[in-house]
Amino acid sequence: MLRLMRQQKKETYYLWIALFLLLLYVSPLFILKEDAHIRVHDNLDSNIAWYKVLADSGEIVGKVDAAIPQIINGLPRDAFGTEWSGIVWLHAFFSSMTAYAISQTVTRVVAFFGMYVLLKKHIIPEPKAAFIRIGVSLAFALTPFWPSGMLSTLGYPLALWAFLNIRKGDISWREWLTLGLLPLYSSFVLGFFFFLTGMACFWLYDAITKRRWNLMFLGSIAFMTSIYLFVEYRLVYSMLFEHAPMHRIEFISSRHDVWHSLRLSVKNFVYGHNHVMTVHTVVILPILLVVFAALLFKRNRTKPENVYLFLCVLNYGLSLWYAFWFNKIWAVPKQKFAFLAEFNFARFHFLRPLVIYVSFALALYLIW
């Protein structure tokens, strides 16, 4: 009992250090303000300006047929997304740089604690592994994610923690509150559509292999999906009732041959992607590959080892899916079915930050 108390005290000490480092990391945004270095691509050159224009337009809560007069003589209000998104109101209440700094802080803190509770409850609950849990969670929270995505990918660990609790029947108000609030600070089409699809596949796997319907788990998936559809009502309306031309159907995105697609899959696997940068190439990837090779031919593997091997296969599988979405084999289906061109299904690889950092934690634990 005394040893456990010491370990808990040490873990609390590590948590405070990690939180301090997180705040230190974002402090230049508050101290330097507009002189701070921030991402330009798909951020300073676009999204931040859009939020500012929307805030100044007086149409944040405008009707679905409203227009923003400052852009192309009246850009439809729905093009700016929903007013139920927290980042929109940050830019309405604060200056652009202050809103950006607050958003970065909130996102990284939630990402850290989300990964931490996921690892502690479901992946490596061993009390002595506190340093691994906290270190990996901190590394995950410091990844240079796409800022306007908010918790679209960095919120995955917290959502997975809630879903796994519900799946096990370990349910409280915290899980439902988590699933209800995450849609207010993330994007459905740029993140959680792919995550919820993965959860639906997870439920289906349970139903087939265990002959267990687990209606509470299924209901939780439906609950979060329903919240997203409510939050993104403008997108739903524009898909059902508006017929303005979509820019994505004007270009051909599937023109790679098989060899090109294979090379692209390896590039994505090794280096990641611009919008979900994982910074895993130099340190994390070699560790993952070494542990994978050590376990591949091992007999009588434990459950954590089998989970690790599955995550490694899933990791490359997501890169392979991403690469082959632009292969020639999809050219004809995309021409026949417009939604395949309008919606980027390649973004299932947005799941990779979650997969990579959970794999990293497991790899370090297995080595230890």
**Confidence (pLDDT) at 357:** 98
128 in any annotated domain: yes
Domain co-membership, 239 together with 261: no
Cα separation values, 174 from 106, 133, 221, 234, Å: 18, 21, 15, 28
249 in any annotated domain: no
Domain co-membership, 228 together with 317: no
Amino acid 91 reads: H
**Confidence (pLDDT) at 242:** 59
Other Cβ atoms within 10 Å of 229 Cβ, number: 13
Domain co-membership, 186 together with 261: no
**Confidence (pLDDT) at 132:** 96
Domain co-membership, 213 together with 259: no
Domain boundary among 219, 243, 267: 243
Domain co-membership, 22 together with 168: yes
Nearest to 105, CA basis, from 160, 46, 24:
24
- Tokens in use for 189? 């089409």
Domain co-membership, 297 together with 197: no
Q: For residues 277 and 284, what is the distance between their CA atoms, to the nearest angstrom?
A: 13
Domain co-membership, 34 together with 109: yes
248 in any annotated domain: no
Domain co-membership, 195 together with 133: yes
316 in any annotated domain: yes
Domain co-membership, 29 together with 112: yes
Q: What are phi and psi of 225, to 5 degrees?
A: -60, -40
Consecutive H or E run containing 352: helix 352-367
Domain boundary among 243, 271, 302: 243
Domain co-membership, 164 together with 265: no
Domain co-membership, 97 together with 205: yes
Q: pLDDT tens per residue, the chain (368 residues)?
A: 777 778 888 889 999 999 999 999 999 999 999 999 999 988 888 889 889 988 888 888 888 888 888 888 778 888 888 899 999 999 999 999 999 999 999 999 999 999 999 999 999 999 889 999 999 999 999 999 999 999 999 999 999 999 999 999 988 999 999 999 999 999 999 999 999 999 999 999 999 998 889 999 999 999 999 999 999 998 888 877 755 544 555 555 678 888 998 999 999 999 999 889 999 999 999 999 999 999 988 888 999 999 999 999 999 999 999 999 888 888 788 778 777 777 888 899 999 999 999 999 999 999 99
34 in any annotated domain: yes
Domain co-membership, 7 together with 125: yes
Structurally, the chain folds into a number of domains equal to 2
3-state class of 242 per DSSP?
A: coil
| DSSP 8-state code for residue 41 | I
Domain boundary among 208, 243, 278: 243
| DSSP 8-state code for residue 67 | E
DSSP of 178-205 = HHHHGGGGS-IIIIIHHHHHHHHHHHHH
301 in any annotated domain: yes
What domain range includes position 309?
Answer: 254-367
Q: What number of CA atoms fall less than 13 Å from residue 18's CA on the CB side?
A: 27
Q: For residues 145 and 280, what is the distance between their CA atoms, to the nearest angstrom?
A: 13
Q: For residues 95 and 264, what is the distance between their CA atoms, to the nearest angstrom?
A: 40
Nearest to 368, CA basis, from 131, 36, 14:
131
Other Cβ atoms within 10 Å of 80 Cβ, number: 21
